[in-house]
């Protein structure tokens, strides 16, 4: 049997959707998001985040800015013992 996966949207699911988040300081995880991610991982799921970041195409932030925001998500999840696979 193949591995099970959960695909999670980023904004509004893992973190509070405050609009176009272009800086790490603008990111806030939902309470319990890290715990839920950790529980899914412990249950054997591969965890993949998908996200349409149209702010790049609109010129609100760059791909490097997006990388910094995604890095902050990883950092905050790690602090709570959680991790994403992709």
- Per residue in 68-83, pLDDT (tens digit) is 999 999 999 999 999 9
Helix count and strand count (H, E) for the chain: 2, 2
Read off the pLDDT of residues 19-37 as tens digits, 9 standing for 90 and up. Answer: 999 999 999 999 999 999 9
Residues 34 and 38: their CA atoms lie apart, in Å, by 6
Q: Please, are residues 55 and 20 in contact by the beta-carbon 8 Å criterion? A: yes
Whole-prediction pTM value?
0.88
Q: Is 11 a catalytic residue?
A: yes
Q: Which of 9, 17, 64, 85 is catalytic?
A: 9
């Amino acid at each position: 049997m193949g591995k099970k996966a959960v695909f999670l949207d980023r904004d509004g699911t893992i973190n509070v959707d405050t609009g176009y988040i272009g800086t790490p300081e603008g990111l806030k995880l939902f309470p319990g998001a890290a715990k839920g991610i950790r529980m899914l991982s412990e249950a054997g799921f591969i965890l993949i985040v998908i996200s349409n970041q149209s702010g790049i195409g609109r010129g609100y932030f760059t791909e490097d800015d997006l990388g910094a925001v995604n890095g902050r998500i990883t950092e905050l999840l790690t602090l709570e013992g959680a991790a994403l696979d992709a």
